[in-house]
Amino acid sequence: MILVTGGAGFIGSNLVAGLEAAGAENIVVCDRLGTDDKWRNIAKRDLADLITPEDLLPFLDDNANRVEAVFHLGAISATIETDADLIVENNFRLSCELWTRCAKYRVPLIYASSAATYGDGAAGFIDNATRDHLSGLRPLNAYGWSKHLFDRWVARILETGSADQSPPQWAGLKFFNVYGPNEYHKEGQVSVALKNYREISAGGPAVLFRSHNPDYRDGSQSRDFVWVADCVDVMLWLKENPSTSGLFNLGTGKARSFADLASAIFNATGIAPEIQFVDTPTAIRDKYQYFTEAQMNQLREAGYTASFTSLEDGVSQYVRNFLATEDPYL
């Protein structure tokens, strides 16, 4: 049995599809579906069970001898969420409880961290898991801080605890700017790729934020955009390599500009380019990442050799295989 928290969400549902395609027979999803179309993300999957987050720990207690791996992708991921207490309860405390259970029952744990832990990038994008290094990072929002808090909690356990206080395999993945199918339920938190596709396919221009930083001209703000299928491949590889543990960046290793992204969408749709720049909302202006680029040395040195999809190829697949079809779901 494989347990995926957040399994009906964006990355989680892609992982569930990948596990199913790889032959996994008993997949259990832990998530809340709500009242929108989030259920469609898992509508094509053959699931062994679907449980709520409230039932997660009791379920693991009752089925510990049957669970072969836990993928912990569930979290409050909205970077604009302001209820810090709620974020801590969901993103930190539950993660600590799950780590402790996986250590007790000797179950591998692969969990989602985030590139938001790097803040404005002044300290670099190095996936160093030591307490000393992590202490120098400064996330810009409560979501990023909650992920960083758990990374630091893990580092404390690793440096001060005994071996039996950690799962037999653990891996934290610092996801960069992931895009791809099944993100449609995320409303204002969808990827820039989907946001701009919706604008362009509706007959409007691509709308990009103006730069409020003199070091970046409008449209040159850059992120490490990573195709979701590549993220799934890394997680499946980790499952098949149980001796590999660590905190790993998960991006492409190459930053691309927002203008590049818009150009890739125009090329994939065949629509003539038109870009409109608007002011970055003041509520997020001082929490804005102008540049992110994953240093991928750690994952490569751990033995992962597969290449990552280029922005142009990823956007083309997204548009032609999903967004421009009658059924955009994986």
Q: Is 106 left (phi over 0), alpha (psi -120 to 50) or beta?
A: left
Query: Any idea which residue has 């928290």 for tokens?
Result: 5
Write out the E strands in 67-139. 69-72, 109-114
Among the listed residues 118, 143, 179, 318, the single catalytic one is: 143
Q: How far is CA 275 from CA 195, 205, 262, in A?
A: 13, 5, 8
Distance between CA atoms of 55 and 29, rounded to whole angstroms? 11
Label residue 186 exposed, middle or buried (CB < 10 Å: 0-12, 13-18, 19+).
Answer: middle
Nearest in space to 244 (alpha carbons), one of 173, 303, 192, 160: 303
C-alpha torsion sign, points 239, 243, 246, 251: negative
Q: Catalytic site residue 105?
A: no
221 neighbors 292 (Cβ within 8 angstroms): no
3-class DSSP assignment, residue 275: strand
Distance between CA atoms of 24 and 2, rounded to whole angstroms? 8
Distance between CA atoms of 110 and 93, rounded to whole angstroms? 16
Q: What is the DSSP string of 298-309?
A: HHHHHT------
Q: How far is CA 70 from CA 16, 33, 106, 248, in A?
A: 12, 20, 11, 17
Among the listed residues 104, 105, 186, 329, the single catalytic one is: 186
Q: Catalytic site residue 186?
A: yes
Residues 6+ apart with CB under 8 A from 151: 113, 117, 129, 134, 172, 247
219 neighbors 259 (Cβ within 8 angstroms): yes
C-alpha torsion sign, points 138, 144, 146, 148: negative
Q: Which residues are catalytic?
A: 143, 186
